[in-house]
């Protein structure tokens, strides 16, 4: 089994180093090959997604991705910015199904910005469509406004669109995820305003006929954003489009206190997947050995479960992570009085030790 390791920029390389150590402890015959991506790809090859990196990603059974981006690339033209590596990999590999769990570990309930009674025990899953919507819709650009009060002025425009098949396949992922959990699915849209999302609602309702054991409800995105902070435990699985999923998944992540704890998976129709922490490259703390490697380590566990068919090894990693939290080890982002503050490498050491025990 071949794993492409793409550490990227900022804290990417240091958190990835710990995840690779953990994978190496499992005694599985994984072949791991590393390649440059993001700003690192641009520096070495003039492009954030160099051809060799894309080829490696396509040939691999799974991709473990660190993080990309740095303010110093903000002035580059869009097609050369680090984020394009992420968008390019998603599109080129057809990674349309993005699974973003938001789980609150009991030890970290104090790190959440919500009151413990509202948030303790939180365990929700956001299923975000990842290769369509206004992110990729054409046409887009800057043009002379063809009509309206500002006709003739320059205007920026993007296109929100979803094809029926695109909605159907992500709806299936959402319903099937709900079947494996508490059999409740909330589809989030903006059907009161947008044609694209009225259509979304109609198609999700149709697909629901194939999943009568799942209770489906529909919610407008503004209300969903509110309910997520009011009563987040009322949700179980949320399915939504690319743009709304981007926003709601950051909100949900923050409910758990640390975005440094959350993994994610992006899967295509063959269950080939890219796995990455939900957080970004945090260039301000890069190289300081303080970043939390647990989201990347937990992403490796998701990879074992969804793409490499090693559920027992995935469980082992997840159990080891719970154990280090119980033991009181905390990186600075989740540190509280009475716990042991550790650096990136020490946190990796603790997980490796817990795995061996």
Residue closer to ligand IPM, measured from CB, 83 or 346: 83
Q: Does 158 bind ligand IPM (CB under 6 A)?
A: no
> In the complex, what is the shortest distance from the CB of residue 52 to ligand IPM, in angstroms, rounded to a whole number?
22
User: Please, are residues 126 and 248 in contact by the beta-carbon 8 Å criterion?
Assistant: yes
CB 292 within 8 A of CB 329: no
Q: Which stretch binds ligand IPM (CB under 6 A): 39-47, 79-87, 199-207, 289-297?
A: 79-87
Longest dimension (CA), the chain: 69
**Active-site residue, 222 included:** yes
**Annotated catalytic residue, options 202, 222, 284, 315:** 222
Binding flag, residue 246, Mg ion (CB under 5 A) = yes
Residue 289's binding partner out of Mg ion, ligand IPM, none, with CB under 5 to 8 Å set by partner kind:
none
Q: What angle do the packed helices 311-326 and 294-306 form, to 10 degrees? A: 160
The pattern of x and - marking residues 86 through 105 that bind ligand IPM according to CB under 6 A reads: xx------------------
> What is the pattern of x (binds ligand IPM, CB under 6 A) and - over residues 227-246?
-------------------x
Q: Is residue 25 left, alpha or beta, with left meaning phi > 0 and alpha meaning psi from -120 to 50?
A: alpha
Q: Which residues of 247-286 are buried (b: 16+ CB within 10 A; e: fewer)?
A: ebbeebbbbbbbbbbbbbbbbbeeebbbbbbbbbbbbebb
- Do residues 103 and 215 lie in contact, with contact meaning Cβ atoms separated by under 8 Å? no
d(CA 126, CA 68): 22
Q: What are phi and psi of 291, to 5 degrees?
A: -65, 150
Q: In the bound complex, what is the minimum distance in angstroms from residue 356's beta carbon to ligand IPM?
A: 33
Q: In whole angstroms, what is the distance from residue 249 CA to residue 251 CA?
A: 5
Cβ proximity to ligand IPM: between 127 and 342 the closer is 127
Cβ atoms within 10 Å of 145's Cβ, excluding its own: 14
Q: Which two tokens stand for residue 194?
A: 């947008």
Closest CB to ligand IPM among residues 66, 348? 66
Which of 51, 217, 250, 315 does the annotation list as catalytic? Answer: 250
Q: Find out whether 342 and 352 touch, Cβ atoms under 8 Å.
A: no
- Under the binding rule (CB under 6 A), the answer on residue 251 touching ligand IPM is no
- Contact status: 251 vs Mg ion (CB under 5 A): no
Nearer to ligand IPM, 40 or 86 (CB): 86
Stretch that binds ligand IPM, among 81-89, 153-161, 196-204, 315-323 (CB under 6 A): 81-89
Comparing CB distances to ligand IPM, the nearer of 130 and 214 is 130
Q: Based on the residue annotation, tell me whether 135 is a catalytic residue of this protein.
A: yes
Closest CA to 67 of 16, 14, 8: 8
Give the interface with Mg ion as residue ranges (CB under 5 A): 246
Active site residues: 135, 190, 222, 246, 250
């Amino acid at each position: 089994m071949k794993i492409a390791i793409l550490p990227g920029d900022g804290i990417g390389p240091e958190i990835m180093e710990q995840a690779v150590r953990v994978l190496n402890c499992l005694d599985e015959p994984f072949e791991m090959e590393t390649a440059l991506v993001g700003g690192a790809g641009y520096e070495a090859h003039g492009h954030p997604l160099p051809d060799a990196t894309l080829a490696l990603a396509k040939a691999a059974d799974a991709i473990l991705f660190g993080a990309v981006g740095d303010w110093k690339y903000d002035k580059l033209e869009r097609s050369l910015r680090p984020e394009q590596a992420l968008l390019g990999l998603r599109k080129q590999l057809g990674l349309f199904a993005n699974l973003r769990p938001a789980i609150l570990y009991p030890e970290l309930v104090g790190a959440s910005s919500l009151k413990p009674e509202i948030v303790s025990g939180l365990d929700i899953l956001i299923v975000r469509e990842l290769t369509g919507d206004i992110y990729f819709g054409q046409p887009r650009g800057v043009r002379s406004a063809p009509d309206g009060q500002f006709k003739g002025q320059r205007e920026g425009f993007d296109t929100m669109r979803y094809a029926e098949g695109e909605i159907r396949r992500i709806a299936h992922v959402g319903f099937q995820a709900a079947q494996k959990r508490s059999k409740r699915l909330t589809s989030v849209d903006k059907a009161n305003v947008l044609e694209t999302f009225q259509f979304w609602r109609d198609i999700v309702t149709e697909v629901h006929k194939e999943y009568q054991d799942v209770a489906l409800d529909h919610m407008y995105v503004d209300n969903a954003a509110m309910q997520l902070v009011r009563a987040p435990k009322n949700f179980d699985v949320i399915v939504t489009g690319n743009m709304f999923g981007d926003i709601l998944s950051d909100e949900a992540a923050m409910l758990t206190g640390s975005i440094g704890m959350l993994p994610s998976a992006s899967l295509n129709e063959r269950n080939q997947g890219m796995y990455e922490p939900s957080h970004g490259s945090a260039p301000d703390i890069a190289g300081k050995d303080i970043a939390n490697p647990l989201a990347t380590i937990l992403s490796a566990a998701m990879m074992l479960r969804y793409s490499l068919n090693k559920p027992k090894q995935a469980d082992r990693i997840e159990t080891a992570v719970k154990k280090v939290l119980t033991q009181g080890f905390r990186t600075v982002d989740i540190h509280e009085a009475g716990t042991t503050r550790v650096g990136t490498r020490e946190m990796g050491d603790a997980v490796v030790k817990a795995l061996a025990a």
